[in-house]
Structure 1
Amino acid sequence: MPEQDRPPDRGELPGTGTPRTGLAERLALNHMGSFDWDLRLGTLELDPAALEVFDLRPEEFNGRPNSLYSRVTPEDGARLDAVLNRALHERASSYGMYFQAFLRDGTPRWTHTQGRILRDEGGKAVRVIGIVRDATAELTHSTLLRTLEEDRKRQTSMVERTTQALSRAVTVDDVTAALTGSGGLERFGADGLALGLVDGSMLKLIALTGRSMKVLSDLRLTRVDDDLPLSEAIRRQRPRFIGSLSELADRYPRLRPYIGELEIEAAAYLPLVAQARSIGGLCLFYRDRTHFTAEDRNLCLALAGIVAQSLQRAMLFDQEREFATGLQASMLPRRIPEVTGGEIAVRYHAAWSGREVGGDWYDVIPLPQGRIGVVVGDVEGHDTHAAAMMGQLRIVLRAYAAEGHAPSTVLARASQFLAELDTERFATCTYAQVDLATGDVRVVRAGHLGPLIRHTDGRTGWPNVRGGLPLGLATHFDDHEYPETRLDLVPGETLLLCTDGLVEQPGKDIGEGMDELADAVRHGPHGAAALADHLADGLWARPGAEDDMALLLLRRAPDPGTAKAPRIHQYIHQADPEGLAEARAVLRQALSDWGAGELADDVELVAGELLTNVLLHTEGGAVMTLEIVPSVRIRGPHRVRLAVQDRSSVWPRRRTPGEAATSGRGLLLIDSLATRWGVEPRGEGKSVWAEFRWLATEDGPDDRPEDRPEADSPAP
């Protein structure tokens, strides 16, 4: 057969002698590859040319989409996901976008992908078949490249800033604050914002910010099935982008009354979807925009996805916190009983997250003979087990106290009960029995912080209260000794009990926290409730406060006497070196205020003798009372009465000191300065008193013999 009559070779182009090029080779020569993504199996097939586009070796690709993450930035990955998800939700047949892929050496390469979505008979997407290609040549040095790069940087910045702001949001209120607070609208690139949450069949707007947005306040509560753009986006789980207000008014007549007052040109209504469930909607308003590009739409979807994730996390946290708060509240007393002769205030602050529940507690227990028991404690741990143990321990301690047992016995039995629960937890607490009629306080500690007392003159102090082992540990070590410490609470003084969360801070010594608390109490208001609020406002919001805090304040009612018969009380602690000097200053000031300043020297000297005797020869402090005893006669002389009460049963004894003696002259001095003096029993102790005759200026001088009181001093 002649050569010109032979059929052309199938491997050559006719008439050229050039070998034929297959489809894959033609795509590869144009830096273009193909992929086949099985959505049901989650597998992704890339041909060699596609691997070349991503600069991947065959062994570096495992057939899963996540193998490509190393070549794409997280921002572009989020944008790709958003574009595909939108196409799937809107039942689109295809999608496409530009992004940057990084080569092995870190060089960025502009890449374009386009995919065809295949669906089954039911309309469900099952496969995506498409191409990826190197788009650098077509975009290099072009206006499109610069625009895309600027948009990409802007969008990346918006996504990053929004993600960063919402990453710190823990509660729904935190999310709302991040969206409506400083810089919130700027992060979204919007001029107005509305955020709504789905609550059953209702849609509640929980955030509304931006100029002129207040006109939408009437729509804060609507139904999810209402004919409104945000409700529609939520129901269909599809975004709606509006570039014309007239279009908005025509489609949604209910909005027509508000559109005239809205200073906007466009709006994006975005569903907030989490785990395939609509939890709310986000609406972004714009003044200088009439359309949305594909990139704009993708950015809005990406921002909505970030908000949805943050809201879902915050809603879960709020639910868990509500559960924990309810559990904690059920364990604490529902109400605090009113007491006669004083006032009580309690506060509780939880510094936990989620389902973490503290074991801190407080209680006020009515006791026999008109006394009350006050307790503050803390069970080890921050979980529901700690809260359950706290509830049991509080009830048991309350029962033991109500039976009338001594404070030491109450804690010993509570420790035994805790040990019998067969748990490794222990608890600390401080328990005090208080008689407000006499001011008698009996305190016991079980490894806990002791009480703080604020005196009537504003001074504060931490009395030296002996303590025992924590409850539970005491039984383990067979040491149930809880020694009682006797304190006096004079009228007007305040007793404070708290858990260690109020004084402990990370990186600080507990002594610093105790000083800080004492200073806050010193400068706080006098009333128990007002002082509790003052402490809560000042200390609970401290940075680094990570523990629960329980606070109990008991203030004995002040006893100022009357205008005609004023009275002051002062407690002088045995371990307070400045107590004597402050007591003398209080006496002198009071007498001056009452117009009896001429008696100040005598009263101060007698008080010094009585107080020194108590502080040197007894084992406790002293309660000093100064009062005016008015005359029963119209113009008779008044009396200034000084009384010093202690807990010693030993009465003072008059002695005859020798010339060289250094003591023993105190009663002689009192006898010579006071009009009369005496000793009275007071419970387990006594009260030594002295009276001074005083001619009140309002009555005028009157020194008739019948008004002179008879001496009532004890026999030598």
Structure 2
Amino acid sequence: MVDCRAVSTPPSDPGRTSHDLPRDHLVPVRRSGDRATSDCAAGDRTANDRTANDSGRSATCDARSSTDADALDHLLLALDAAQVGVWEWDIVDATLRWDRRTGELHGIELDSFGGTLEAFLALVHPDDVPNLQARIATALATGGFILEEYRVIRPDGSPVWLQWRGRAITDTSGQIVRIAGVCADTTELRSGREQAGRAMQHVSDGVAVYDCGGRFVFVNAVASRLFGRDPSELIGMPMWEVYPEVVGSAFEQLYLRALRTQVPAETEGYYGPLAGCFEIRLFPAPDGMTVYFRNVDERRRAEAQRAELITSLSSALDRARKLFDVTAALGQALTVPDVADVMARSARHDLGADIAAIMLVGEEGRIRMVSPTTQSDRVNHVLERVSGRATAATPEVLRTARARFDASRADYLADYPHVRTLLEVALLAGMAHIPMIISGRPIGVILLGWTTDQTFDADERAFLTTLAGTCAHAIERARLYERQRSVTEALQQAILPRHLPNVAGVELTARYLPAGRDVDVGGDWYDALTLPDGSLMLIVGDVGGHGLRAATVMAELKHAARAYAMLGQTPAAITGQLSASLTASDAEVYATAVVACLNVTNQQLTWSCAGHPPLLLLDGADATFLEEVHGPILGAVDNCAYRQDTVTLPARARLLLYSDGLIERRDTSISERLDFLSAVAAGSHAMGLDAACDRLLAEVAGPSGREDDLCLLAADLLGDQ
């Protein structure tokens, strides 16, 4: 029970008096109907109290103005119409006064009410008495409000929920002298709230309802589980007392702003009191706040996993794109230095590496470095010294066939401290050594270096290992190509004549240029020989295709043509024999050729053209193509009889025989190219034969980018010297 005689009230606000408070006690006036005020003695007591509180103001009922009385009558009528009772508890004499409506709400006749706090609490359901006592004690201690719901059992046995709402009244000294308030039936409202509460119990979110003071009014089962407390421990308790850590938090700021602005708000983040990530939605109302809590830990984990998966897929796609790009570039690399350059570019652009090199196992097991051309000689030299030592990472990786990844310089020096100076000179920190393996055998090591420490995760290690495998196959292919090209070039150089014949009255010169560096050796050849009758035989041929096969067929045709010429056969007979030989060989290749026999004595030229570009005849600045074609390309038709023509050359004529590599370009028609050749040759007529040939190669063939090899055989008739 609450002892009203032992109440220590806090000092009042110095600037505030009882005159500023609402009406603080019952007034003995008569209402309409059957309700009446308390007895006259109570009215006199009330009047005396008011007189004391108002410090000498006249407070008798008769002294009131008729206007005040009318206003009070209207107020009491309004309260009666709303079925709201009025009560007053006099702290000084421990008297509790009710009006008739308050008695009716509690199910008793007013005359039978004892007029004490104990008599009132005796009417309250026992389960609700402790909470009501606690609220009264708080009001007495703080001088604040009382707001509490409790049950009473009517005489007919039906429970009724009532709401007791009041406020402490102080005198001029700040002492609490009365608590006055109203009482109303909230059974229906409580029933609606309970029905809503039952519905809220099935909501998957946690729901908590607070009053204007931040006290818990309702907590559903989910919220109770989240809070880790039974609803009975929370209802009526201020949020700030239950969870002190809320004070000053972002949630409190959001809560107070929503309460002040009456605008719903929401937030999401880690919520300390609930030890998890929550989506929180706040719905303010004039009498409090409803807050929904939804745990989003699973959703955030799923989002994080999805983001991680997307990042992983994006990273995988990016690595796949990089690998595709480097594979395509390596497919165009024909030599080992080309492979090293491609790998170095990829390492810099795709991996951010500062240096790169390829260490290959050469003959007798010696390690040689293929230095990228895009890297400084100083760095290349340092890398070669580091990797060339017997005790270094490169020999270890070659021996074990396992990649080595050193995240920092210290990691590398832990095993190989003797190369500290070299690493410092090269500014190397993180390093990677990845073996290049073919058929289970390491053929070399890719060395990558960074000037900063690195973290080699599993995906990056897998990417580097795949890159090393791609480079290994590219190097193996480049080595094979280099060997084949070396053999082919040697064969071709052996086939081409070392010296041109020295014939009186004729000056001869020849040129041969291989195709561009990314094109294999072709089958172009030229030959010049003096026949037994003193005539000069000139031959230029072109075997279709490139590589060793083309060079082999070229050698066969070249030697056959020379043999037929030495037997005294005519140009037409020679082209026919060459075609028949090619047809019978099943070589499945074709060739073109022009065979010309020059009689120096009478300056007659007899020639046979088998699908070859036409000879160019220069008479001073006049240029003429000998455009007759005497048969198809060699090997195209069985038993083909080729023809020939004869022309008498002018004195001091210049004759040009050439292969199509001199004139053919994909982006220009053959007729335009022939016209260009004719113009350049005519413009060079006054130049010596060697100088004229050099000019033709420079201007017509061009310095680079040729798709085919070419040969040029030129003859000047000197005439009378």
TM-score (norm 2): 0.49
When the two structures are superposed, what TM-score results if normalisation uses the length of structure 1? 0.50
Structure (1/2) with the larger helix percentage? 2
